Amino acid sequence: MKIVTCIKRVPDTEARLKIAAGRDIDAAGLKFIISPYDEFAVEAALQLREAKGGGEVIVVSVGEAAAAEQLRAALALGADRAVLLEAPPTLDGLVTARALAAELKDANADLYLFGMKAADDDQQQVGPMVAELLGLPCVTVVAELELGDGKILCHREVEGGIEVVEAPLPAVVTITKGKYEPRYPSLKGIMAAKKKPLEEKEAAAGPSRVRLLDLSHPPERPPGKVVGQGADAVPELLRLLREEAKAL
Amino acid sequence: MRASPALACVVPPRYLAAERQRERRLMPRFQPIDFYEFDALLSEEERLVRDTVREWVDDNLLPVIEHATIERRFPKELIPQMAELGIYGANLPEEYGCAGLNSVAYGLIMQELERGDSGIRSFASVQGALCMYPIFAFGSEEQKRSWLPRMARGEVIGCFGLTEPDYGSNPAGMRTTARQDGNGWVLNGAKMWITNGSMADIAIVWAKTGDVDDVASIRGFIVPTKARGFSARDQKGKLSLLASDTSELALQDVRVGPESLLPNSGGLKGPLSCLTQARYGIAWGAIGAALACFDEALRYSKERVQFEHPIGATQLQQLRLVEMLTAITQAQLLTLQLGRLKDRGTARPQQVSLAKRANVSMACDIAREARRLLGANGILVEYQAMRHMANLESVYTYEGTHDIHTLILGQELTGFSAF
Ligand SMILES: Cc1cc2nc3c(=O)[nH]c(=O)nc-3n(C[C@H](O)[C@H](O)[C@H](O)COP(=O)(O)OP(=O)(O)OC[C@H]3O[C@@H](n4cnc5c(N)ncnc54)[C@H](O)[C@@H]3O)c2cc1C
């Protein structure tokens, strides 16, 4: 079983982001992580490999040289080897998808996993686009995977229920928060990661046709209103909910 | 695995509620101020080690520590989790089942554990620096292969018996004896204030094999706690390190085989070299406790409003916070350099003494000031400051009291022993 998992380096979801010159995120002093949904995908890959009792998990990232840090973090979690496709940051999902497809077209993997979206630009494009470029079936926003004979069963949480979808292998699946609680890397795993192969090469990335024009923080929320205290405040609260908020 | 139909179908929602608990990575995590770009001085690997333990502490230690403190119990459920991470003896070599980390990464682990609670860090210090280390440093190859992997996996828990009721700061005076008996040994004596004492599977016991004033005859023994004549009793009435097992050990004609002796131990330098390892970890641990208190105080100062403004808008509370930040920043840089020296193999015990002494004292001050900044809330267990404050009083005293480190350094400077 050979599983490719694609991961992206993103700013820590905890970080308070500053905007530099009104155009981009100020990276100074910023901590970066594996995008959380991609981390679910890495965990899914590791669990499938463990369930199979063998196989290979390859992590691939398109990004700047610094993304090697996230690849090594994935190796520390247990992936077997890593490939970094170096490219400048882009908002054009197709550029990233083409770079991945060029690398993966001869990968002969059984399964290609992605996070359902990147925690930074939230576009949800790359997984399905890679599937399209590789001509593979694609299932998105999957909470749990189950291996069948030459096929994959994907559990999807839909409104009010759970849907199970089947696809033949090889397939592309994008993972959401579900069964796969990311493990902690073990300290031994962190040490072992140094010895695992990490291949770095230029991405076959074309020009971006989508570009960022402006980046700003949302307007500050107006402060809440205290209408009074205790039971006395209830009539006024009801009036406001009815007349101003029109919630009742 | 559940049987799945081949076609899309709808089954009842099974794990929608549980899903909320899976937001680990999307939940707030501890992120202290890094005022002097300390992180830039760490390697990627060192940061990853720290962040891993940091996250584990947020997810697993902090949620249980309040209850453990109130119930005065060591949270044993954390033992296998720490083993899985590879925390025990993490700086010892991989060939013995350990992680083989450098001293800085090891120190950062201690920092994060003590950011959670000094009691949990104490557990890990004792297991690694005080029990696994002497087996590694003074044990036979057979002892190392037999004990270290199991201890790294948390299957065997250790305690370290040096202190006695009448010999604390002056362990050279110890009364515990080991007498040769056939090819084995018979141990007699009492040890006090022993961390992990009641739950340990083995005790590293230091005893005199010669005369009562023959310090050179001190040897270390690996004593199974289930041996006949060995008993442990919980130390009652503590007001510090409540989430830690502190016990008294009694050894009454405890017979052990020859394989129990640590063959390369001899004299006080055996236990003292273990203490140097543990003190090094404590120097880092104290920074962790200080960071926790500072972080809590800073948050509180921005939220608590008195006289129509946050208390953080007053000069007095700002002074408190600035003093904390200054002391923590100094301690971080000092301790990192100590770690680098240790990795280079040139760190001296006196340098470790300076860091233990300075950092623990610093952390005691910060915990107390944080507690005061929090006002009445500061005395509650829901906040961290007072728990840390009380814990740190033990840390101030064990592993060489603050005073004893003063004497070590005084002697280093002047050449005069003032003990
Ligand atoms: C929670 C806890 C856990 C512990 N865990 C362990 C453990 O796992 N294993 C272990 O072996 N021990 C352990 N200890 C024991 C600890 O190391 C001793 O308490 C410590 O060494 C001090 O000894 P003492 O308490 O007998 O104090 P004493 O040595 O009696 O000291 C009392 C006071 O006198 C001062 N003093 C002593 N000598 C001098 C001097 N020459 N000049 C000036 N002042 C002096 C001291 O600084 C102190 O203020 C633990 C202690 C605590 C509190």
CA distance B340 to chain A (A): 18
Could you give the ipTM of this predicted complex?
Answer: 0.84
pLDDT band at B188 (very low <50, low <70, confident <90, very high): very high
pLDDT of residue B10: 35
Give contacts of A179 with chain B, Cβ < 8 Å.
15
Given a contact cutoff of 8 angstroms between Cβ atoms, the answer to whether B385 and B371 are in contact is: yes
- Assign domain B38-152 one CATH number from 1.10.1660.10, 2.40.30.10, 1.10.540.10, 3.90.1560.10: 1.10.540.10
| Assigned superfamily of B158-260 | Butyryl-CoA Dehydrogenase, subunit A, domain 2 (2.40.110.10)
Q: Dig out the tokens for B330 from the structure.
A: 């100094």
What domains can be seen in chain A, in order of their start residue? 2-202 (3.40.50.620), 221-248 (no CATH)
Contact flag B11-A39 (C-beta cutoff 8 Å): no
> Any chain B CB within 8 A of the CB of A120?
no
pLDDT of residue A22: 64
pLDDT at B103 over 50: yes
A5 torsion bin: left (phi>0), alpha (psi -120 to 50), beta (else): beta
Ligand 1 atom with least separation from CA of B159: 8
Average pLDDT of B144-151?
98
Fold match, B158-260 / B269-414? no
pLDDT band at B16 (very low <50, low <70, confident <90, very high): very low
Average pLDDT of B10-39?
59
**Does residue B160 have its Cβ closer than 6 Å to ligand 1?**
yes
User: What φ, ψ does residue A130 adopt, rounded to 5°?
Assistant: -65, -40
Indicate the domain borders of chain B. 38-152, 158-260, 269-414
**Which residue, among B40, B124, B51, B87, has the nearest Cα to B332 in the 3D structure?**
B40
Calculate how far, in angstroms, residue B402's C-alpha sits from the geometric centre of ligand 1. Answer: 10
Give contacts of A39 with chain B, Cβ < 8 Å.
25
Q: Dig out the tokens for B232 from the structure.
A: 């442990």
**Which residue, among A203, A187, A182, has the nearest Cα to A33 in the 3D structure?**
A182
pLDDT of residue B86: 97
> Any chain B CB within 8 A of the CB of A30?
no
> Any chain B CB within 8 A of the CB of A69?
yes
What would the CATH number be for the domain defined by B269-414?
1.20.140.10
pLDDT of residue B122: 98
Average pLDDT of B260-273?
96
pLDDT at B34 over 80: yes
Catalytic residues of B, which ones?
Answer: 399
Average pLDDT of B59-73?
96
In whole angstroms, what is the distance from residue A49 CA to residue A44 CA?
Answer: 9
In whole angstroms, what is the distance from residue B74 CA to residue B272 CA?
Answer: 26
3-state class (DSSP) for residue A53: coil
Calculate how far, in angstroms, residue B174's C-alpha sits from the geometric centre of ligand 1. Answer: 13
pTM: 0.90
Q: Which amino acid is at B352?
A: V
**Does residue B406 have its Cβ closer than 6 Å to ligand 1?**
no
**Does residue B88 have its Cβ closer than 6 Å to ligand 1?**
no
Give contacts of B99 with chain A, Cβ < 8 Å.
186-188, 190-191
| Residue ranges of chain A whose pLDDT lies below 70 | 22
Distances (CA, A) of B72 to A60, B63, B66, B198, B239: 48, 15, 10, 14, 10
Given a contact cutoff of 8 angstroms between Cβ atoms, the answer to whether A184 and B55 are in contact is: yes
User: What φ, ψ does residue B247 adopt, rounded to 5°?
Assistant: -140, 165
pLDDT of residue A18: 85
Strands B177-181 and B230-234: what pairing? Answer: unpaired
Average pLDDT of B55-62?
96
For residue B22, give the nearest of A14, A69, A177 by CB distance: A177
Ligand 1 atom with least separation from CA of B241: 1
Given a contact cutoff of 8 angstroms between Cβ atoms, the answer to whether B153 and B96 are in contact is: no
pLDDT band at B20 (very low <50, low <70, confident <90, very high): very low
In whole angstroms, what is the distance from residue B115 CA to residue B121 CA?
Answer: 9
